[in-house]
Structure 1
Amino acid sequence: MKKNILSALALCAVVGLSSCDSFLELEPLDKVSGDKLTETDGGMKALLATVYAAVPMEDFVFRPYTGFNARNYDGVNGASNIAFLSDEAARSEGGGGITEGFDYWPYDEIRQVNIFIETVTSSQEKGLLSQADATRMIAEARFARAYIYFGLVKRYGGVPIINRVQDGDYVPGDSEALRVPRSTESDTWKFVINEFGEAAKDLPVARDGYRFTKWGALGMKSRAALFAASLAKYWDKAPLAGEAVNQKLVGLSKGEADYFYGECIAASDEILNNYGGALYGANPGSIDEARQNFQKLFIQSTPVDEVLLSRGYVDGSTNNNRSGHGWSLYYSLAQVNPGALRYGRFSPTLDLVDLFEDYTDDGTGKSAPIKTRADGNEANVPNVQLEGNVKSTDPYIQYSSLSEPFLNKDARLQASVIIPGSSYASVPILMQGGLVETSGKVVVYNNSSAQGKDGKTYFAFGAEGTSGYSGFGNIGNSENGNYTTTGFSVRKYMEEEKFSSLSSRDNSITTPFIDIRLAEIYLNYAEAVVESGKGDQNKAATLLNALRHRAAHKDNIPLTLENVLKERRVELAFEGKRFWDMVRRRDNHVYYNGGMRSALVPMIDLRTDTPSYIFVRANFHGDEKQNGRTFAPQSYYRAIPGTASNGLVQNPGY
Structure 2
Amino acid sequence: MKRYKNITIAAIGAVILMAGCKKYEQFPVDKVTLNYVFDSRDSLGTNAQSFLYSIYGVLQNGHNRVGGDYLDAASDDAMSSASGPSNQVTMLSTGAYNSYTLPAPENLWALFYSGIRKSNEFVTNIDVVPVMAQYNGKSMKYAWKAEARFLRAYFYFELVKRYGGVPLLGDKVFTIKDDVSLPRNSFDDCIKYITSECDAIKGDLLNNPLSSNDSHRITQGAALTLKARALLYAASPLFNGGNIDANNTLTGYTSGSTARWAMASAAAKDVMNLNAYKLLDNFKDVFTTQNNTEIIFMRQNDDGNAVESANAPIGFTAAAANGQTSPSQQLVDAFPMDSGLPITDPAANYNENNPYANRDPRLTYTIFYNGARWLNTDLQIYEGGQSKPNSSLQQTKTGYYMRKFMGASENVASFAKHPEDWLIMRYSDVILMYAEAENEVNGATADVYNALISIRKRAGITAGADNLYGLKAGISKEDMRTVIQNERRVEFAFEESRYWDIRRWKIAETVMNQPIKGITIEKIGSSLTYSIAPVLTDKFVSPKMYLYPIPYDEVLKNPNMKQNPGW
TM-score (norm 1): 0.70
**What is the distance in 2 between the residues matched to 1:171 and 1:564?**
49
Match of 2:497 among 566, 577, 580: 577
C-alpha spacing 1:129/1:546, structure 2 compared with 1 (3 Å): closer
Deviation at 1:50, TM superposition (A): 3.5
Is the CA contact (8 Å cut-off) linking 1:354 and 1:370 kept in structure 2? no
**What is the distance in 2 between the residues matched to 1:473 and 1:89?**
19
Supply the AA of the counterpart residue of 1:298.
F
C-alpha spacing 1:246/1:357, structure 2 compared with 1 (3 Å): closer
Is the CA contact (8 Å cut-off) linking 2:61 and 2:299 kept in structure 1? no
Is the CA contact (8 Å cut-off) linking 1:50 and 1:113 kept in structure 2? no
Is the CA contact (8 Å cut-off) linking 1:526 and 1:564 kept in structure 2? yes
**What is the distance in 2 between the residues matched to 1:313 and 1:329?**
16
C-alpha spacing 1:35/1:529, structure 2 compared with 1 (3 Å): closer
Q: Does 1:587 align with 2:507?
A: yes
Supply the AA of the counterpart residue of 2:194.
V
Deviation at 1:58, TM superposition (A): 5.1
Match of 2:117 in 1: 111
C-alpha spacing 1:58/1:246, structure 2 compared with 1 (3 Å): farther
C-alpha spacing 1:31/1:274, structure 2 compared with 1 (3 Å): closer
Q: Does 1:414 align with 2:364?
A: yes
Match of 2:325 in 1: 346
Match of 1:180 in 2: 182
Structure 2 residue matching 1:26: 3-state secondary structure: helix
User: Which one is further off, 637-646 or 92-101?
Assistant: 92-101
Deviation at 1:326, TM superposition (A): 2.4
Match of 2:545 among 620, 632, 635: 635
Deviation at 1:226, TM superposition (A): 0.9
Match of 2:336 among 357, 364, 368: 357
Structure 2 residue matching 1:580: 3-state secondary structure: helix
**What is the distance in 2 between the residues matched to 1:30 and 1:264?**
43
Supply the AA of the counterpart residue of 1:537.
T
Residues 589-614 of structure 1: CA distance to partner in whole angstroms, max 9, x if unpaired?
Answer: 12223x201111111135xxxx3111
> Aligned residue pairs: how many?
500
**What is the distance in 2 between the residues matched to 1:500 and 1:649?**
56
**What is the distance in 1 between the residues matched to 2:140 and 2:529?**
64
Q: Which has the larger radius of gyration?
A: 1
Match of 2:388 in 1: 471
Q: Does 1:82 align with 2:57?
A: no
Match of 2:301 in 1: 313
Query: In the TM superposition, what are the counterparts of 1:618-633 in structure 2 within 5 Å?
Result: 618-620=533-535, 622-623=536-537, 628-633=538-543
Supply the AA of the counterpart residue of 1:199.
I
Supply the AA of the counterpart residue of 1:420.
N
Name stretches of at least 5 consecutive residues in structure 1 with no aligned partner. 1-21, 64-73, 282-292, 316-323, 377-396, 434-460, 463-468
Match of 2:521 in 1: 602
C-alpha spacing 1:510/1:32, structure 2 compared with 1 (3 Å): farther
**What is the distance in 2 between the residues matched to 1:472 and 1:603?**
12
C-alpha spacing 1:58/1:532, structure 2 compared with 1 (3 Å): farther
Supply the AA of the counterpart residue of 2:152.
R
Is the CA contact (8 Å cut-off) linking 1:51 and 1:140 kept in structure 2? no
Deviation at 1:35, TM superposition (A): 3.5
Match of 1:326 in 2: 306
Q: Does 1:367 align with 2:342?
A: yes
C-alpha spacing 1:34/1:263, structure 2 compared with 1 (3 Å): farther
Supply the AA of the counterpart residue of 1:60.
H
User: Which one is further off, 114-123 or 552-561?
Assistant: 552-561
C-alpha spacing 1:604/1:514, structure 2 compared with 1 (3 Å): same
Query: In the TM superposition, what are the counterparts of 1:497-646 in structure 2 within 5 Å?
Result: 497=409, 500=413, 502=415, 510-533=419-442, 537-550=445-458, 551-554=460-463, 555-556=467-468, 557=471, 558=473, 560-593=480-513, 595-606=514-525, 611-620=526-535, 622-623=536-537, 628-641=538-551, 642-646=554-558
C-alpha spacing 1:222/1:631, structure 2 compared with 1 (3 Å): farther
Query: In the TM superposition, what are the counterparts of 1:27-66 in structure 2 within 5 Å?
Result: 27=18, 31-36=34-39, 38=42, 43-55=47-59, 57=60, 59-60=62-63, 62-63=65-66
Supply the AA of the counterpart residue of 2:357.
L
Deviation at 1:509, TM superposition (A): 7.0
Structure 2 residue matching 1:159: 3-state secondary structure: coil
Supply the AA of the counterpart residue of 1:640.
I
Supply the AA of the counterpart residue of 2:544.
Q
Deviation at 1:61, TM superposition (A): 5.6
**What is the distance in 2 between the residues matched to 1:490 and 1:353?**
11
**What is the distance in 2 between the residues matched to 1:398 and 1:193?**
48
**What is the distance in 2 between the residues matched to 1:398 and 1:485?**
20
Name stretches of at least 5 consecutive residues in structure 2 with no aligned partner. 1-12, 20-31, 85-89, 96-101
Is the CA contact (8 Å cut-off) linking 1:223 and 1:264 kept in structure 2? yes
Deviation at 1:650, TM superposition (A): 1.2
**What is the distance in 1 between the residues matched to 2:48 and 2:280?**
35
C-alpha spacing 1:23/1:511, structure 2 compared with 1 (3 Å): farther
C-alpha spacing 1:501/1:409, structure 2 compared with 1 (3 Å): closer
Query: In the TM superposition, what are the counterparts of 1:55-454 in structure 2 within 5 Å?
Result: 55=59, 57=60, 59-60=62-63, 62-63=65-66, 74=67, 78=68, 80-95=69-84, 96-97=90-91, 98=93, 101-102=103-104, 103-105=107-109, 106-124=112-130, 131-167=138-174, 172=177, 175-176=178-179, 178-206=180-208, 207=210, 208-231=214-237, 235-236=241-242, 240-241=244-245, 246-255=247-256, 257-281=257-281, 293-300=282-289, 302-314=290-302, 326-336=306-316, 343-359=322-338, 361=339, 365-368=340-343, 399=353, 404-433=354-383
Percent of matched pairs sharing the same residue: 25
Residues 281-336 of structure 1: CA distance to partner in whole angstroms, max 9, x if unpaired?
Answer: 1xxxxxxxxxxx22222211x12101111122236xxxxxxxx7821211121133
Deviation at 1:552, TM superposition (A): 3.1
Structure 2 residue matching 1:603: 3-state secondary structure: strand
Supply the AA of the counterpart residue of 2:156.
Y
Deviation at 1:510, TM superposition (A): 4.0
